[in-house]
Structure 1
Amino acid sequence: MGEWKREVAWLVVALVVVFGIHVGLRVALHTDSPLVIVVSGSMEPVFYRGDIVLLRGVTSPDQVEVGDVIVYKRPGYEYPIIHRVRYVSTVKINGRPETCYVTWGDNNPVPDPPYPSSEGPLEVLLPEGYMAGCVPAYAVEAKAEMVFPKIGLIPLWIRTALGLG
């Protein structure tokens, strides 16, 4: 077999293996995005920009506790947000109780802003006596399980160089 054919064969095998691992992780961890690259410094020193975080899907509010790092999508934001749960409460949305999480990055001084809902911005009263925004359980997609430091720096650099992020 010619040298170029061998190289093409190895490339095809590598792509199949990577694709298989990705599909396997999606199934095993119950999430469409089992690996995410950290794009900001809001969670330093736990996660740094360029770290890759392994996620496990969240299907029920009882899977999330204070101290967990969750991933949620917020309307108007391009990337999912990955922040720590600091407080759990209940709010009423359309007359029904909904679990709601007060979150903020370990490197941020204040909680995340109120989550927009059909009832208006979601907020809860914290034990310290002030109002804080909260994230409804239905917006939570996953929680962090493991971090792979810095291996996402190259894809971040490529995205930046191409003007994609």
Structure 2
Amino acid sequence: MLNKKLMSKGILKDILIVAIGVLVIWIGLQVVFGTQNPFYVVASGSMIPVLEVYDVLIVQGHVPFDDIKVGDIIVFNRPSGHDRVIVHRVASVIDDEPKTIRTKGDANPASIPGTDFPITKEEYIGKVAYVIPQVGYVTQLLKPPINYVIIVIVIGIMVVKQMTKKKNEKELSLQDPFKKNDSNVESTANIPELDKLEKDKAYSNHDNDSSTKAEKQESEKDQK
């Protein structure tokens, strides 16, 4: 029961670390690019061939709306209803006070009222700074039910990781702490110096015994 609790705590800890890491990175990107969402995926072919469907756009929100000029590609909320995000090229400035612009998709025959104009600072999100081709295909993998499968796999990996960790710790705790030391101790029979000392001692004892025996025999002869 204790192991299960420890394993659950380990999994929650890993998930928390990942979540905090993602959050910190996301907040950092928002600060750097000056917009709540610096990444957008092209969803239509209105800007082909410059922008293809599934291209990922990195938007720079720090570029002021007043600095936007004809020819810039910008991201903005649809003027009519603010219900869609559009990425089109600036076609003209139709008013200066306040600044109002008209856009058009490169692949579209003309600007669309309510979509391409009138665009003011209120609709403006940012200027397209970078384009990452076709990376938007990854977003298709994050749609249900595939995203749930990915989440389950990630959690499964965390569970296996914690189980393996606990198993290794248990095996180490059951291991004889003296076994390793004993295996490193060399037997005296394998030490040449000790073998020589033992042999010398045996020879010495043998010589002493022989001398004692000879003296005893000489003494017996004298007594006779």
Structures share fold, TM-score greater than 0.5 = yes
AA paired with 2:92?
Y
**Deviation, structure 1 residue 61:** 2.9
Identity across aligned pairs (percent)? 29
**Deviation, structure 1 residue 72:** 1.0
1:41 maps to what in 2?
45
Q: Equivalences for 1:116-135 in 2 at 5 Å?
A: 133-135=117-119
- Between stretches 73-82 and 40-49, larger displacement belongs to 73-82
1:86 maps to what in 2?
91
1:93-142 deviation per Cα after TM superposition (whole angstroms, max 9, x unaligned)? xxxx2111110111111113146xxxxxxxxxxxxxxxx84312321111
1:35-89 deviation per Cα after TM superposition (whole angstroms, max 9, x unaligned)? 1111111111121111110011156332211111111112435431111101112
Give the root-mean-square deviation of aligned CA atoms.
3.1
SS in 2 for 1:136: coil
Q: Which has the higher contact order (CA 8 A, sep 6+)?
A: 1
Q: Equivalences for 1:13-162 in 2 at 5 Å?
A: 13-57=17-61, 60-74=64-78, 75-76=80-81, 78-90=83-95, 97-114=97-114, 133-156=117-140, 158-159=142-143
Larger Rg computed on CA atoms:
2
Judging by fraction of residues, say which structure has more helix.
Answer: 2
Structure 2 length normalisation: TM-score? 0.52
Distance 1:73 1:133 in 2: 11
Judging by fraction of residues, say which structure has more strand.
Answer: 1
Is contact 2:35–2:126 with CA below 8 Å preserved after alignment?
yes
The answer for unaligned runs of 5 or more in structure 2 is 1-6, 147-224
**Deviation, structure 1 residue 28:** 1.2
**Deviation, structure 1 residue 15:** 4.1
Structure 1 length normalisation: TM-score? 0.68
AA paired with 1:56?
Q
Residues paired across the two proteins, number: 141
